[in-house]
């Protein structure tokens, strides 16, 4: 039987790749984006490739009432909701002294509260039906230290914590919860910069984000289609934390084994590259090395 899924932030990057992979499996996908026309176009393209089908919805995950309505409408239309991918996110970073309160608010409102809104809307539906799987997109930045990306990292650590806490609570209700923690992924977000309606961040504007993220990812960005395959495989296996690619898993394991060693190695990497030093607001002190990179969901 085809599954019914909602994917927020589904018009590009990781969200589009997830939506495409679900449609290829024969599922029914409701993908969302902040622009209705873009969402409709992507949904039509994916449906044409089949064998599943996609529909579109304009959604700002900061709007709790709108998220509630989307989940309720989807469950009513199809009679159930099997999967919710809380994937929408925004990349906010830069030296802390250059960031305004508006930068912090945007990161929290989209990356963290947006996930809360999805969970709050979908979890009761899944509890009532006795099954379902919530998949929250965090980042390797939610597992590793990330100077230079403080607002982003803060919210992604929060998403990891929320997901693991809910997983323990939801298990006896028949609902599964997973969190996705990718390293650097090749998505359009790398070329967009920060939201244009926020105050300028001079250090960030002086850097080429794609170059910096590529360096932080060991010289190669992960393909979003490959990540989508990893995620769906992890969902099928009910993994609590889905970390990809292999380099991100190695870094996570090293961090768990020896945080001090990980920090020393990361500091050495950052100290050798001018772009990485600039991305962290200057030379990285011994106790605060560079960690991972935003997942660019």
**Rg of the chain taking only CA atoms, in angstroms:** 19
**Each residue of 76-88: pLDDT tens digit?**
999 999 999 999 9
Active site residue 123: no
Report helix, strand or coil for 222: strand
Q: Treating both helix axes as pointing N-terminal to C-terminal, what angle do 13-24 and 36-49 enclose, rounded to 10 degrees? A: 30
pLDDT of residue 9: 97
pTM higher than 0.85: yes
All domains of the chain in start order, with CATH: 4-279 (3.40.50.720)
pLDDT of residue 211: 85
Residue ranges in the chain whose pLDDT is less than 50? 283-293, 296
Place of tokens 């925004």: 90
pLDDT of residue 112: 98
Contact 10, 42 (CB under 8 A): yes
pLDDT of residue 215: 81
**Each residue of 17-67: pLDDT tens digit?**
999 999 999 999 999 999 999 999 999 999 999 999 999 999 999 999 999
Catalytic residue from among 78, 123, 152, 222: 152
Contact 214, 220 (CB under 8 A): yes
Place of tokens 């993908």: 31
DSSP assignment string, 57-85: EE--TT-HHHHHHHHHHHHHHHS---EEE
Structural tokens at position 191 = 């070329």
Q: What is the dihedral of CA 261, 267, 273, 274, to 10 degrees?
A: 170
Query: Is cis: bond before 47, omega within 30 of 0?
Result: no
Query: Is cis: bond before 51, omega within 30 of 0?
Result: yes
């Amino acid at each position: 039987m085809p599954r019914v899924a909602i994917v927020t932030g589904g018009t590009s990057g990781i969200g589009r790749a997830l939506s495409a992979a679900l449609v290829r499996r024969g599922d029914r996908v409701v993908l969302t984006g902040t622009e209705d026309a873009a969402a409709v176009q992507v949904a039509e393209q994916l449906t044409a490739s089949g064998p599943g089908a996609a529909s579109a919805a304009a959604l700002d995950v900061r709007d709790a009432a709108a998220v509630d309505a989307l989940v309720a409408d989807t469950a009513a239309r199809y009679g159930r909701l099997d999967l919710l991918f809380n994937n929408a996110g925004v990349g906010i970073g830069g030296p802390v002294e250059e960031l305004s309160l508006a930068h912090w608010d945007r990161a929290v409102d989209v990356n963290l509260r947006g996930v809360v809104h999805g969970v709050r809307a979908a979890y009761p539906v899944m509890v009532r039906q006795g099954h379902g799987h919530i998949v929250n997109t965090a980042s390797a930045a939610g597992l590793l230290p990330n100077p230079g990306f403080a607002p982003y990292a803060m919210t992604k650590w929060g998403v990891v914590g929320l997901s693991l806490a809910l997983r323990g609570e939801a298990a006896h209700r028949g609902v599964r919860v997973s969190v996705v923690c990718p390293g650097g992924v090749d998505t359009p977000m790398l070329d967009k910069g920060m939201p244009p309606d926020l105050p300028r961040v001079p250090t960030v504007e002086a850097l080429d984000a794609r170059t910096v993220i590529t360096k932080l990812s060991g010289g190669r960005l992960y393909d979003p289609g490959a990540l989508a395959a990893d995620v769906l495989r992890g969902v099928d296996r009910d993994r609590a934390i889905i970390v990809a690619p292999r380099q991100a898993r190695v870094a996570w394991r090293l961090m768990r084994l020896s945080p001090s060693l990980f920090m020393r190695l990361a500091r050495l990497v950052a100290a050798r590259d001018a772009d990485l030093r600039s991305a962290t607001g200057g030379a990285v002190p011994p106790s605060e090395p560079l960690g991972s990179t935003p997942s660019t969901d």
